[in-house]
Amino acid sequence: MSLLPVKQLLASETTGHTITVKGWVRTKRESKNAIFIAINDGSTIHNLQAVAEPGQFSEETIRLVTTGACVAVTGTLVESMGSGQKVEVKATDIHIYGPADPDKFPLQPKKHSMEFLREIAHLRPRTNTFAAVLRIRHALAFAVHNYFNDNGFFYLHTPIITASDAEGAGEMFRVTTLDLNKLPRTDEGDIDYKQDFFGRETNLTVSGQLEGELGALALSKIYTFGPTFRAENSNTTRHLAEFWMIEPEMAFYELEDNMNLAEDFVKYVIGYALTHCADDLAFLENRLIDEEKSKPQAERSPMPLLEKLSFVLNNNFQRLTYTEAIDILLQSKPHKEKKFQYPVGWGIDLQSEHERFLVEKHFKKPVILTNYPREIKSFYMKQDDVDESAPGPTVRAMDVLFPGIGEIIGGSQREDNYEKLLARVEEVGIDPASIWWFLETRQFGSAPHSGFGLGFERLVLFVTGMGNIRDVIPFPRTPKSAEF
């Protein structure tokens, strides 16, 4: 007896030998002469069908074979008479590892809403949709490492606990071992963090970038790929409180090189999914087509999933400056007809509705926007030389915008001039002493360098065609929700 995953069994070139399949029952169908059991072990979207003759098994065994039960079926692998599969197993032995009471098991072979499935996140990986998403998520993560490894990048592990308050102070989760009921106080009455575990205030990281830069200024090309935390109270379909971010950082790269890398990288990982996850993507494409039947024509996606992914691979991303984008938005129909919820004008932080207009309506392809106003971007971005066409100072930022998602990547060339960086740090009210180590890299062997951050779940969202970011991570963390 050999134990092979269903994926391999279904691809068997020969039949007639004895095999054992272990997995969870998806469906049981009984006819007069045979019982058909569809078994899935998560290795593939497809099930292996076991056929059992009723007389050969005790009634008790057959009774316990229900949707959700975990079983091991041994038997002969034979060519399948039915359509839909090449082979099936003619059962000689059925072992029940774990029954699943059909009156209580919440996953029945019918459509469940995504909202309901979120409430049973401990079981939802056993649905076809989630298992497909999780397999694609795995493939994409693997592709990320492949890409960087093949291109001479080193995987740098940046800290999850940080003491730097340089970024997103209000959005950070505090890390402490202090007793919240008995907080130690200083003579002035403030909380005495000297008595805390690290002897200072610490938080969960919102980005590995600052430390990533330190790595790039020694190893030339690094990337991080780790958990990232943001306590922003944004209940959207694109934000999680805990997500995974990929952040490459490269010495000697200018903005243009940064854009080229971002585009090449994203195309590579999407291409990897297309070649390695064809079955799962086909399943999700059909699911989407099904789901969209109930939507009005205008809300349906312009392309089926696979076509959309190929389209991204085969077209250059549209590159333009923020200033040019604002001009387009000012000339646009939704602006003139006051259809945008948020006002448009040079200096605004682009809202999702603006980004999506540019991508989905105007250019109809992914867009890279560059040279944003300095005031709406981070202190570490490289300041542009004065640009006469822009109404105010700009920085060498780049955001990659995707259809259906909006911003998927945010990046920039970094300010490598010590004086300019220090001035900016002080201007935005950061205590230079708190990031002395970051500033020092501009005093010792500074180099032009660039990098970006890709939200991994936004990538998975795009590739799977799912509608909500909570459904592309196994156990989502969002405001008021951290079960499982």
Which residues are near Mn ion by CB under 5 A? 410
The nearer residue to ligand ATP, 134 or 409, going by C-beta atoms, is: 409
Token pair of 221 as six digits: 């090309």
| Burial grade of 12 (CB within 10 A; 0-12, 13-18, 19 or more) | middle
Nearer to ligand ATP, 193 or 462 (CB): 462
Nearer of residues 6 and 397 to ligand ATP, judged by Cβ = 397
3-state secondary structure of 129: helix
Among 239, 308, 449, 477, binds ligand ATP (CB under 6 A): 239
User: 394-402 and 406-413: which strand pairing?
Assistant: antiparallel
Using CB under 6 A as the binding rule, whether residue 457 contacts ligand ATP is answered as yes
* Residue whose CB is less far from ligand ATP, 89 or 454: 454
Q: CA 270, CA 404: separation in Å to the nearest integer?
A: 16
Q: Does 245 bind ligand ATP (CB under 6 A)?
A: yes
Residue 166 interacting partner from ligand ATP, Mn ion, none (CB closer than 5 to 8 Å by kind)? none
Q: Which is nearer to ligand ATP, 201 or 407 (CB)?
A: 407
Question: Phi and psi at residue 159, in whole multiples of 5°?
Answer: -70, 150
Q: One symbol per residue from 307 to 346: x for binding ligand ATP (CB under 6 A), - otherwise; what is it?
A: ----------------------------------------
Nearer to ligand ATP, 40 or 412 (CB): 412
Residue 366 or 410 with smaller CB distance to Mn ion: 410
The answer to whether 60 and 43 are in contact (CB under 8 A) is: no
**Least distance in angstroms from the C-beta of 453 to ligand ATP:** 3
Q: Per rule CB under 6 A, is residue 214 in the interface with ligand ATP?
A: no
Whole-number Å distance between alpha carbons of 262 and 312:
13
Helix axes 128-150, 255-276, angle to 10 degrees: 130
94 or 408: CB nearest ligand ATP: 408
Which one of 248, 455, 465, 476 is in contact with ligand ATP (CB under 6 A)? 455
In contact, 123 and 107? CB cutoff 8 Å: yes
Cβ of residue 118: shortest distance to Mn ion, in angstroms?
A: 26
Could you say whether residue 71 binds ligand ATP (CB under 6 A)?
A: no
CB 287 to ligand ATP: min, Å: 23
Residues in a beta bridge with 90: 51, 76
Q: Shortest approach of ligand ATP to residue 394 CB, angstroms?
A: 17
Which one of residues 24, 243, 272, 380 is an interface residue with ligand ATP (CB under 6 A)? Answer: 243
For ligand ATP, which residue of 453, 461, 464, 471 counts as binding (CB under 6 A)?
453
In angstroms, what is the minimal distance from the CB of 341 to Mn ion? 20
Told to check if 353 binds ligand ATP by CB under 6 A, we report no
Strand 18-30 relative to strand 70-79, pairing: antiparallel
Beta strands (DSSP E) in 322-427 are: 367-373, 394-402, 406-413
285 part of the interface to ligand ATP, by CB under 6 A: no
Q: Does residue 350 belong to the site contacting ligand ATP (CB under 6 A)?
A: no
445 conformational bin, left if phi > 0, alpha if psi -120 to 50, beta if neither: left
b/e per residue, 303-342, with b = 16+ CB within 10 A?
A: eebeebbeebeeeebbbbbbbebbebbeebeebeeeebee
Whole-angstrom distance, CA of residue 423 vs CA of residue 432? 10
147 binds, options Mn ion, ligand ATP, none, Cβ within 5 to 8 A by partner type: none
The region, left, alpha or beta by phi > 0 then psi within -120 to 50, assigned to residue 371 is left
For residues 383 to 422, the per-residue mask of contacts with ligand ATP, x marking binding by CB under 6 A and - elsewhere, is ------------------------xxxx------------
Q: Residue 15 and residue 3: Cα distance in Å, rounded?
A: 15
Residue 68 CA: distances (Å) to CA of 36, 72, 102, 126, 465: 15, 13, 8, 8, 26
**Count of residues touching ligand ATP (by CB under 6 A):** 15
Smallest separation, CB 356 to ligand ATP (Å): 12
Q: Choose among ligand ATP, Mn ion, none what residue 172 binds, the Cβ cut-off being 5 to 8 Å by kind.
A: none
The residues near 165 (Cβ < 8 Å, ≥ 6 apart) are 172, 201, 203, 430, 434
Report in angstroms how near the CB of residue 409 gets to Mn ion at its nearest: 8
Residue ranges in contact with ligand ATP by CB under 6 A: 230, 232, 239-240, 243, 245, 407-410, 453-455, 457-458
